[in-house]
């Protein structure tokens, strides 16, 4: 048995593959360059990224790119690679982790390369990730925003109008709740506001909007006029009345209105909630708040879906830049080629991940210039409402999600924020009580916002 197979047996496939690949690139002959591209994603995304890499190889003879597909425990595996000095050349990096690696000098500063690759210089300002003045350690891989997905047939069956597809006519929260009532049915066909409704035997939930996933509620928070932290980034604002209202409303969807699933209810096998495409296709849920990236899976699994904008409180807002980072890892033998691949890997001119519906471009022109907008949205995979519900919505009503911009987010999230949100989700205590306890703890861990600057 070869060593590589042995590694795989041990469940160390990723490590083993990289070990073997390292050996290969070190002894490569004939000027061949081998790069490694590490990434995560669904199986559809895996195939799409592999196509992108193949295309890169075709355009760059002499360069081979080895895909390191790592669907689970990405941070754990990447951390292990960092600790053992076996970094890939280019790849995705969990956003919070990218700041740490940037500070540690493990990521190439891309600032000097912006002149050479003008497409990198025209990004949406929120896409850039800075470790400090003029130290650009990466970019958010693609732009992603939160949307209100719905099953057309489920809405038609209930005889309700679909959620609006333009921000100007976005639903109020009450309109959302009202519609969700009509869309929630138990095994006997009863709605939550009818006598005899059995909340334990719900056949179809009206709405699912995650409480524990920050990007899903950040738009609501901003729409209600409050942010995660104050301007200095030192005081957490989740205990303000505006924030409490947002979370109480989310909690009420589950326990008061009974139109949304509680913890564990959607799970097929435990925490692995099926993708939004499956939830809508099976009509387990009629409307789901989820990211734009779902579009790829929606199309692949032929869901009869529609896209609406999120409900609003005051100004309509949605989270943008809900993505991981992409970066070039420092210390590789082929930095020039790696940066070249980096500039290529999310350029809509070469990569079909945009037209396929997985990604939204980071370059501003793809939201402003008609021909550029058409280049990625005018196809069968983008429904007619996409222009207003996604392109215009992202451009005019997007707010970059807080998780990317708050320092020390990884500890705040795992030690205080996620547990508090889970408690809200379990519904034993009102949201306000939980947030009043959590906010000061978060404040004590806050270290300000990440550095931002003009390119």
Q: Which is nearer to another protein, 396 or 415 (CB)?
A: 415
CB of 425 to another protein, least distance (A): 7
Residue closest to 112 by CA, chosen among 361, 362, 328 = 328
Place of tokens 């209930």: 158
C-alpha dist (Å) from residue 120 to 38, 210, 374: 20, 33, 20
* Residue 98 or 143 having the CB closest to another protein: 98
Look up residue 40 and give its two tokens: 């995560």
Cα dihedral value 266, 271, 275, 276, nearest 10: 40
3-state helix, strand, coil in the chain (%, to 5): 45, 15, 40
Shortest Cβ distance from residue 104 to another protein (Å)?
Answer: 4
Give the nearer residue to another protein in terms of CB position, either 28 or 331.
331
Cβ proximity to another protein, 222 vs 284, nearer residue: 284
Task: Output the smallest distance, CB 199 to another protein, in A.
Answer: 10
Which residue, 79 or 119, is less far from another protein as judged by CB?
Answer: 79
Rounded to a whole number of angstroms, the minimum distance from the CB of residue 94 to another protein is 9
Query: Toward another protein, which CB reaches closer, 272 or 380?
Result: 272
Residue 84 C-beta: closest distance to another protein, Å: 10
At 195, which helix (H) or strand (E)? none
Pairing of β 135-140 and β 146-151: unpaired
Q: Report whether 144 contacts 322 (CB < 8 A).
A: yes
- Smallest separation (angstroms) from another protein to the CB of 423: 4
Q: For another protein, which is the closer residue by CB, 109 or 223?
A: 109
CB of 101 to another protein, least distance (A): 6
In the complex, what is the shortest distance from the CB of residue 201 to another protein, in angstroms, rounded to a whole number?
8
In three-state secondary structure terms, 88 is coil
List the one residue out of 144, 162, 166 whose CA is nearest residue 292: 144
The two three-digit tokens of residue 293, written as one number: 């990236």
Contacting residues for 322 by C-beta, under 8 A, at least 6 apart: 144, 145, 146, 215, 291, 401
Orientation angle between helical segments 74-83 and 95-103, nearest 10 degrees = 10
Of 75 and 304, the one with the shorter C-beta distance to another protein is: 75
CB of 434 to another protein, least distance (A): 9
Cα separation of 325 and 450, whole Å? Answer: 14
C-beta closer to another protein: residue 374 or 415 = 415
Which residues here bind another protein, judged by CB under 8 A?
75-76, 79-80, 82-83, 97, 100-101, 104, 106, 200-202, 262-265, 267, 269-271, 410-411, 414-415, 418-420, 422-423, 425-426, 428
Strands 318-320, 398-400: parallel, antiparallel or unpaired by DSSP?
parallel
Radius of gyration of the chain (CA): 23
- Are residues 238 and 228 in contact, defined by beta-carbon separation less than 8 angstroms? yes
């Amino acid at each position: 048995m070869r060593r590589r197979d042995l590694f795989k047996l041990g469940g160390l496939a990723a490590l083993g593959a990289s070990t073997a690949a390292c050996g290969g690139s070190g002894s490569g002959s004939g000027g061949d360059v081998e790069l490694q591209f590490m990434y995560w994603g669904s199986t559809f995304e895996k195939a799409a990224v592999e196509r992108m890499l193949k295309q890169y190889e075709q355009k760059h003879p002499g360069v081979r790119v080895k895909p390191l597909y790592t669907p689970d425990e990405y941070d754990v595996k990447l951390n292990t690679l960092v600790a053992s000095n076996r970094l890939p050349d280019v790849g995705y990096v969990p956003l919070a982790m990218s700041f740490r690696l940037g500070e540690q000098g493990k990521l190439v500063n891309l600032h000097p390369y912006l002149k050479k690759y003008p497409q990198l210089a025209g990004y949406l300002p929120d896409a850039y990730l800075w470790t400090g003045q003029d130290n650009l350690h990466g970019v958010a891989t693609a732009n992603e925003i939160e949307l209100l997905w719905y099953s057309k047939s489920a809405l038609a069956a209930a005889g309700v109008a679909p959620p609006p597809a333009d921000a100007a006519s976005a639903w109020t929260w009450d309109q959302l709740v009202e519609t969700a009532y009509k869309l929630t049915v138990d095994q006997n066909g009863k709605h939550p506001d009818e006598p005899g409704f059995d909340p334990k035997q719900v056949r179809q939930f009206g709405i699912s909007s995650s409480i524990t996933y920050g990007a899903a509620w950040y738009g609501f928070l901003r729409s209600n006029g409050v942010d995660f932290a104050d301007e200095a980034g030192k005081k957490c604002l989740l205990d303000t009345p505006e924030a409490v209202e947002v979370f109480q409303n989310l909690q009420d969807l589950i326990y008061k209105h009974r139109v949304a699933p509680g913890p564990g209810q959607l799970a097929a096998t435990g925490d692995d909630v099926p993708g939004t495409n499956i939830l809508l296709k099976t009509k387990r849920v009629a409307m789901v708040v989820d990211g734009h990236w779902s579009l790829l899976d929606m199309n692949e699994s032929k869901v009869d879906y529609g896209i609406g904008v999120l409900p609003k409180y005051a100004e309509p807002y949605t989270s943008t830049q809900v993505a991981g980072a992409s970066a070039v890892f420092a210390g590789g033998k082929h930095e020039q080629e790696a940066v070249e691949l980096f500039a290529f890997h999310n350029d809509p001119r070469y990569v079909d991940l945009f037209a396929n519906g997985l990604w939204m471009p980071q370059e501003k022109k793809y939201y402003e210039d008609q021909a550029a907008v058409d280049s990625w949205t005018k196809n069968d995979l983008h429904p007619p409402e996409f222009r207003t519900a996604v392109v215009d919505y992202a451009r005019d009503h997007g707010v970059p999600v807080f998780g990317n911009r708050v320092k020390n987010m990884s500890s705040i999230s795992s030690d205080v924020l996620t547990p508090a949100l889970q408690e809200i989700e379990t519904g034993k205590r009102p949201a306000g009580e939980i947030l009043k306890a959590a906010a000061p703890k978060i404040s004590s861990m806050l270290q300000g916002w990440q550095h931002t600057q003009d390119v």
